[in-house]
Every structure is written in C-alpha cells, then in structure tokens.
Copies of this chain bind each other. A is one copy, B any other.
Amino acid sequence: MQDYLEFLKEKGYKLTKQRCKILECLEKHPSLSAEEILSLVNQEIEVNLSTIYRNLNLLLQMGLIRKSNQLSQSDYFELVRQNCSHDLLCLACGDKVSFSTCNFNQLAKEIESETKYQVKHHNFEIYGLCPKCVPKKTEM
C-alpha cells in the first residue's frame, strides 16, 4: 500500500483522503466496479462518483490498476499485484474460478526486446463453460 502512495507522490500527485481510501479498497478486494468503490469509500468518508472515476483513470494511466469488463455491463478494476491472478469465466452462467498459472515474466522479457515497449502489466481472462453448463450447451 505504502508503495502505491509513495509512487504517486513522487510523480507529483497529491495524496488526498479520497485517493487513499480508493486505493485501500482496491487493496482489500480482488475486483471492484466504480459503484462498489463508491459505496465502500462512502462508508468512511464522503466521496463523489466523478472523483472515483477520475482517480481510476489516473491509476490506470499510471499502470497501478487494470480494468476488465468480464461478462458484465460495467468495468471492473483491480490492483496490479506481484502474484498475478486470473479468471476463468463461464460464458453461460457467469461463474468464475481463479487460476494463477501464467509464466508472464518470461513472456514479458521476450516482448520487451521484440517491441521496445516497457511492459507494465497484463490482463488475461479465459472463457469457457463451467461443469454445470457444459451439458446444457452441448445438447442444444
């Protein structure tokens, strides 16, 4: 947590209480929508939805969080962590399980030397049918 704050401060961004609370929420939960962050933060301090969005956009640009819109209408935001975790989502019912396997560090190096980009993070989602939904879908 402290790392994120110092990182932002170094870049010249202020550590407002709203911003800190937003990061705190993201740290406590694996994945949150803007609305969810709003109500979590509002339990402790007052904050406006536009502030949530402005901060999320800043954090996205900084590469501190990533966004994914799984199977729902709105976006979900998650902190970029060391031990990256990914989701496997069921196309039929939306159920999900997490998996961690993903030898990304190696791939990142290859890609960096190939493209000259400085790789920050990634987003990896797998879609399929969960054990419950497989039968329904194949007999259709």
Q: A4 an interface residue at 8 Å Cβ cutoff? A: no
Of listed A75, A88, A90, residue having the most chain B CB within 10 A: A88
The copy count of this chain in the complex is: 2
A-B interface, 6 closest residue pairs, ranked by CB to CB distance from nearest: A119-B128, A122-B126, A118-B129, A116-B131, A117-B128, A120-B128
Whether A15 is near chain B, meaning CB under 8 Å from some CB there, is no
A contact set with B: CB distance below 8 Å = 11-12, 60-63, 66-69, 71, 75, 88, 90-92, 97, 99, 101-102, 107-108, 110-112, 114-131, 134, 140
* A106: min CB distance to chain B, Å: 10
Tell me the bound Cα distance from A123 to B62 in angstroms.
22
